[in-house]
Structure 1
Amino acid sequence: MWADLCKNNQVRASAIAQDADQNYDYASNSAVLHLEPGDEIYIKLDGGKAHGGNNNKYSTFSGFIIYVD
């Protein structure tokens, strides 16, 4: 799986999970971005697949304000 953190349609960070286990893969990353009102932040699956059994579809995304300009 390859997931991109995008800001206004530009990739700003990526996370890759290799197929080490047929049942579970995981990836993580972090980034500090300067944002303006109206900026769009999203995660885009750029390769592979995100799937799981009925009870195993876990995905998280967190964002925090570090300081205000």
Structure 2
Amino acid sequence: KGVYGFTLDPMYGEFVMTHVDIKIPKKGSIYSFNEGNYQLWDDKLKRYMDDLKNPSLQPSGKPYSAR
């Protein structure tokens, strides 16, 4: 069980395991979300994502960064 990363080896044309047991940090300052469909999201999800961008709502006083 777990998440593993693979990279294509162009010399052999095969994928090889390059990252073992990938973990997501419990805390961070960056979010990644496809905001192209923002208008279709549930209002609670919109509010959460908007709050991430509001520095006054963050303990650090800085908004999360988008990637």
TM bucket, shorter chain: under 0.3
Q: 1 or 2, which has the higher helix percentage?
A: 2
Q: Give the TM-score normalised by the residue count of structure 2.
A: 0.18
**Bigger relative contact order (CA 8 A; separation at least 6):** 1
TM-score, scaled relative to structure 1: 0.18
Which structure shows the bigger proportion of residues in strand conformation? Answer: 1
